Every structure is written in C-alpha cells, then in structure tokens.
Amino acid sequence: MPHVNVTHLASKGTVLGTVVLSLLAVPSHATPAVPLPKPDLTTLQGRLVTALKQGAPGAIARIDDRGTVERAAMGVADHKSRRSISNADRFRIGSVTKTFTTVVLLQLADEGTLRLDAPVDRYLPGLLPDRTITVREILGQRSGLYDYTNTMFAKTVPGFQEVRNKVFTYRELVKRSLWHPRTSAPGAAYSYSNTNFIVAGMLIEKLTGHSVRTEYENRIFKPLKLRDTFYVHPGARIPGRHASGYLTPDEKGAPLVDATEQTMSWAQSAGAVISTTRDLNTFLSALLGGRLTSPAQLRQMERMVPAGTNQAYGLGLRRRDLSCGISVYGHTGSVQGYYTYAFATKDGRRSFTAVATTSNNVSVLNTMVGTLESAFCGKQSKALRAAPPVERYEDIAPGIARD
C-alpha cells in the first residue's frame, strides 16, 4: 500500500508583498462572483495514488484557501531511503519558473525600465535576427523562436545525460534555437518555447545589472518569505530536505533514472527554480491577489490567447478552464523527474500545487492534470463523467509527442 498522509490545518495571517508594492489596492476582480465548491479531498488522494500505480515514486498536493490548509502525500521521497514523501520536501518546479521571471520583468515595467511593446533589440541589440520581436511576444510565447529543447531532448535519457553536468551561457542556448527556422512570424501564433524565457533572463540581467538569482531573491523570495525557494545554478544539488526526481526512459520497462542532481543550465531562467508546495501557493496567492505588480501589469499578464484545449496563455501565465466552469491561473512545470501543477483562482484566494516525482510518463501527466478538478471543482467536477482532456506535451521539448 502507498504511504498516505493527509492533514488539515487552520492558520491566520497574510503574506506581505514587496515593500514598495504592498500598499497597492487589491484589484477589483479579487471578489469572487460565486462561492467555490469545496475541494474533493478523497478524489484528490485517489488521483495521487493512481499516479503512484502509473510509475511515480511519490506524489504530493497542497491546497491553501483563506487560512485553511489541506495536504496530501503518497509514496516515498527517494528509492534508497524509502522515506515517506512530505509537502515539506523541496523539488524542482521546472517551467513554473517562467512566472517568477515574468513578475521580475513586469516590476521593471512598473518602474519604467522596460516597455512590453518595445522590441527586444532595444535592450539586447543584435541578439535576435528578427529585430521586431517584442518583449510582450517573448513573454506570451508568440515570438516564433524555435524551442532548442526539441532537439536537445529528442531522445529523453541520452539527451538528459548529455547536458546534466554542463554549464551553458544564455547566448549558447539562444544560438541553438537560431540554428532552426522560426515557427511563425512574430506575434502570429502561440508556440511554447523555452528559448523565450532564456531571452527573458537575459533582459533581467541586462536591465538590472544583477543575476536573475539576485532579482528573484530581492523582488520575490525575500519579500514573500519563501524560505524553501531557491535559484540554484550551476550547482547540481537541491539543498536541504527534498524529494528525488525520477526520469522515465523512452523504452518501456526500462528502470527509472534518478535525475535529481543536475546543473539545470539548459533551462536557467526558463526552469531552474526549486521550491515547495507551500511556497508556490504563497507566491501565486500574492501574484493574483495584486501584491507583486501594479493592477495594470497584472491585467497585461492575464491577457490570454488560446493555447490548446480548455487553456490559454498570457504573459508567463497559463489559464486552465475546468469542467465546472471555473478558470484557474498559474503554470505547469515539467523537468526531468518532476511534474508540477501550480494554479490559483483569479483572486488568489484558493491556491493549489500538486507534484509527482517522475516525468516522460503521459499516464502520470494526465492523472496530475486531473488534480485541478478535485481541488477547484470538488464533487461538481464533470471530468469523471466525460472524456478527460488528454495531455501529450510537456514543457520540455513541447514539440515532441510522448506516447
């Protein structure tokens, strides 16, 4: 039987935003139109157990809802010690990093240092061959820049082993993208590309004169007191208590590969942050509650274009439209060994993070997306009574369908 750990905790207090922006009024959308259904904790636990049966060594989830906390944890944190996994364990959040990166750039826009509709070339002259690509198109995944991870991870395990200990510069990664034709004209279509957020990291460092680590820490981690959130690059280890991540090989039946230790240099500002379910929920609640940017910049972030079935993409932010009619906002994270779903209601009052400690496993991927239904739709979810959405693409190599 998988290890099961479910707790309920009521707490008081709020998380403060940045010193400068904490005085901003909460935007008008912060009052929900209708009460949210109660989470369906039994079904949520069942989904995590299913993820274990499908190959994930461990799975965790946490719901924060106006002072009430619900947690679930199934399985083990690592194969060697067999220690039970916990919501206190840190993990690699993958592309949820993109939302952190976007917040830093929107704060720079609030400060007048950056214009969303200015060309990237204004700030990084000569970096991109098409000098019309704007910052907005970069953050909205509409630049047309090829995703270099499609080539890098065309073969899952060999691709990972090739880069796990390497250290890349941003320009080396952009160069790998520019070896390939663009997928569309700038602004013409949504096309998910990690290249965009490598460029975003370069913008942060050019405009501030500091590393992305310093900007994340000073603008987000420290003001929100995210004690378990770090940008670790090029160090390969997750500091402190953490859950190991296991990569599923392409060959059926092959043993899982422990992918926990890696430089994450292939991702950097597109995916190298480490966090916990608590810290991610705190971050999303603060962001969507209007405590990290001005209301005007948050509205820019929430301007969405279609990005697949029942979902859309804004600026570093995904929207998922659930079966009960509720939409939630956040990001997915796929990195070797970890699947993360981190989403919240538009007012930020209910936030939810779920993690499975494997990747390259479509069955687990689809099970984990179903946790959103349990957390936000509760027993009103129609997902079990109809054909559920099928996830086939990951944030790593999104142009490659995994069977």
pLDDT in tens, 129-165: 999 999 999 999 999 999 999 999 999 999 999 999 9
Tell me the catalytic residues: 95
Instruction: Report helix angle 277-288 to 97-110, nearest 10.
Output: 30
Rounded Cα–Cα distance for residues 211 and 214 (Å): 5
- Check residue 356 and give its pLDDT: 98
- Check residue 23 and give its pLDDT: 30
Q: CB–CB of 197/96 below 8 Å? A: no
Rounded Cα–Cα distance for residues 150 and 316 (Å): 20
pLDDT digits (tens, 9 = 90+) for 318-371: 999 999 999 999 999 999 999 999 999 999 999 999 999 999 999 999 999 999
**Given a cut of 70, is residue 52 above it in pLDDT?**
yes
- Check residue 389 and give its pLDDT: 55
- Check residue 1 and give its pLDDT: 42
- Check residue 31 and give its pLDDT: 41
Both tokens of 394, joined, read: 């990951």
- Check residue 385 and give its pLDDT: 59
Buried-state track 97-125, b at ≥16 Cβ within 10 A, e below 16: bbbbbbbbbbbbbbeeebebeebbbebbe
Indicate the pTM of the whole model: 0.91
- State the Cα angle at 229 between 192 and 171, rounded to 5°: 45
Q: What would the mean pLDDT of 197-209 be, rounded to a whole number?
A: 98
**Given a cut of 90, is residue 10 above it in pLDDT?**
no
% the chain with pLDDT above 70 = 89
Sheet holding 358-359, edge to edge: 257-258, 246-247, 358-359
**Given a cut of 70, is residue 26 above it in pLDDT?**
no
**Given a cut of 90, is residue 293 above it in pLDDT?**
yes
**Given a cut of 80, is residue 14 above it in pLDDT?**
no
pLDDT digits (tens, 9 = 90+) for 205-262: 999 999 999 999 999 999 999 999 999 999 999 999 999 999 999 999 899 999 999 9
